[in-house]
Amino acid sequence: MKTVRRSFLAASLGALAAPQTYVPKQSDRPEPLSGEEPGFQSIFDGKTLNGWDGDPKYWRVEDGSLVGVVTPETLLKSNTFIIWRGGTPKDFEIKADYRITSGGNSGINYRSVAAPDTVRPDNRFALRGYQADIDSQNRYTGQNYEEKGRLFLALRGQVTRVVGGRKPVILASLGDSQTLASFITQDWNSYHLIIRGNVLIHSLNGHLMSVVIDDDVPHRSSEGLIGVQVHVGPPMKVEYRNLRLKNL
């Protein structure tokens, strides 16, 4: 597979007809996941749910982590979130560590809006918007999925351009999906999202997982809420820690 030695922005203008291997230039690469992090501020204090808004039936703080739990007695009929109420970021980076139990499904939503559904109109913690997907089997982890919206915007390993009235156009490849999945552990993982303008970058454990160039102007979102999810399905537990945000 030929290597593209230019940025994904240039690739998007060319609208490549066939998938190619995408190698970002140095300025596109996510920052290291350790060491100094200028500009980042914590959005979770590790002790309380101050600044966060969710159903206490599903969310709590435990051992310094923001924890979502679904039990056999609290199975969901629609996905629910705990929402950060500190703002509606536009261009930003967010970093967070997560760990999820077998059978679990979750995600980090951003540029989202409240969107109660017809199944559970009383679920005021439902969101519609971009999601950095997470699941315990790593079928979807790393992809960009628009919750309650246009759905799959980029699968893991894809650089895509989204335009109105058609499926996302695959511009380039970041690598084989299963190979990228091998970098995801069954313990703690570190997500890093870089969201600037219409370019949405998802990285996990220092490896690029998906890139979306959203040119679907009527349907894309330029700012909105941040939240993390517990999903319809079997009992599960997901933990988040070290959530920090940098406005760009």
Provide the whole-model pTM: 0.85
Give me the pLDDT at residue 164, please.
84
Q: Strands, E, within the chain: which ranges?
A: 3-4, 21-22, 41-42, 52-53, 59-62, 65-70, 80-84, 92-100, 105-114, 127-135, 144-147, 151-154, 158-162, 169-173, 189-196, 199-204, 207-214, 225-230, 236-247
Is residue 34's pLDDT more than 90?
no
Instruction: Identify the band that residue 29 occupies on the pLDDT scale cut at 50, 70 and 90.
Output: very low
Instruction: Name the least confident of 22-36, 121-135, 157-171.
Output: 22-36
Domains and CATH numbers, the chain: 3-25+38-247 (2.60.120.560)
Please name the amino acid found at residue 201: I
- Dihedral Cα 5, 9, 14, 17, nearest 10 deg: 80
pLDDT over 70, % of the chain? 83
The two tokens of residue 155 are 């699968």
- Residue appearing with tokens 């600044």: 51
Q: What pLDDT was estimated at residue 37?
A: 84
pLDDT at 83 over 60: yes
What is the spatial distance between Cα 66 and Cα 68, in angstroms, rounded to a whole number? 7
Q: pLDDT per residue over 182-241, tens digit each?
A: 999 999 999 999 999 999 999 999 999 999 999 999 999 999 999 999 999 999 999 999
Rounded percentage of the chain residues whose pLDDT exceeds 90: 79
Give the residues across from 198 on adjacent strands. none
Written as six digits, the tokens of 92 are 């930003």
